[in-house]
Amino acid sequence: MTIGLGLGISRFPFDTARDYWRWVDRCEDGGVDSIWQTDRLVSKEAMLECMSTMAALAGHTEKIRFGMNVASIALRDPLLTAKQCATIDFLSDGRLLPAFGLGSALAQDYSATGTQTKRRGKKADEALDIVARLWTENDVNFDGEFFQYEGASISPKPANANIPLWIGGSSEVAMRRTAKYGTGWLGGIDTPEQAKLVVDGIKSALLETGRSIDEDHYGASFLFRFGSPEDHVVTTTAKGLAARLKQSPDRYLVAGDAKAMVGRIREFIDAGCQKFVMLPMANGTTEVMEQTRLFIEEILPEFA
């Protein structure tokens, strides 16, 4: 069993751009499995664009892997997306971890741009099919509802001949989409109980598609903080989650000591997840760096 513990960020929490690169270096030097960037295009909060961030990470780092958690494929052109991913993977010697989903139909990425959400699932399915084929085939022909290609090809191909295609989402449609197109599943901020339902659902759907997904290619994301549940950043985050989820946020985040976080990770492992994107609840460079230090020193050794 291979447990991979990565760190992710959503909004940009650092004081300066240079501080971000200090954090990246700390992650790479400290043995963090991977770095992840949440995807959001329209936002008043500072949010890095995930594809250009992946390209920057490819040039700055030497060994750590990196991915997007998760890129909204229904908002992106599949040819451009496939080409971007292939280029980043080629230049990083196969370290890109592509992960795609739909994003919320209520997100400003859709509403602010007038982008239709009707049948966006079908559009995403077509895009995922095209992306996967462009990575491996020399001439792609496709006649779909949203996309029509004739003799399309990209070069160079990804350095990783088995470049992953992870799918996000926890709906029944997302489970079927993962079983049809994905090589892995990466959950959003969820509970272990919900993750188990999705993992089991994907495995059932795989029986229908006749495909397989490696046991260690199921992933979970959750918020964490070394500290007290009463810390301001925790109470603020919990309040926001409660308003969005319409339920208690307690199972969606962990604030406490290493024992509490290791316990939550093991709950997710029992639910069938072996890859993790852990998002520190922290404001400012000093806090993020301290949360990262504690993660490296107190969590990673538990799963070495």
State which of 127, 146, 164 marks the end of a domain: 164
Q: pLDDT by residue (tens digit) across 84-104?
A: 999 999 999 999 999 999 876
Instruction: Give me the domain span that covers residue 87.
Output: 55-164
The answer to whether the CB of 268 falls within 8 A of the CB of 219 is: no
The per-residue pLDDT of the chain, averaged, comes to: 95
Query: Percent of the chain having pLDDT more than 90?
Result: 91
Regarding whether 154 and 209 lie in a shared domain, the answer is no
Q: Which residue has the tokens 């099919």?
A: 129
State which of 111, 129, 164 marks the end of a domain: 164
In 161-211, where does DSSP find H-type helix? 172-181, 192-209
Q: pLDDT by residue (tens digit) across 225-275?
A: 999 999 999 999 999 999 988 999 999 999 999 999 999 999 999 999 999
Regarding whether 207 and 119 lie in a shared domain, the answer is no
CATH number at residue 222: 3.20.20.30
Count of domains for the chain: 2
pLDDT of 166 > 70? The answer is yes
Q: What are phi and psi of 224, to 5 degrees?
A: -145, 155
Query: What does R_g of the chain's alpha carbons equal in angstroms?
Result: 19
Regarding whether 299 and 210 lie in a shared domain, the answer is yes
The pTM assigned to this predicted structure is 0.94
Strand blocks (E) in the chain: 4-9, 34-37, 65-68, 71-72, 96-97, 99-101, 140-143, 148-152, 166-167, 184-189, 218-226, 253-256, 275-280
State which of 164, 191, 214 marks the end of a domain: 164
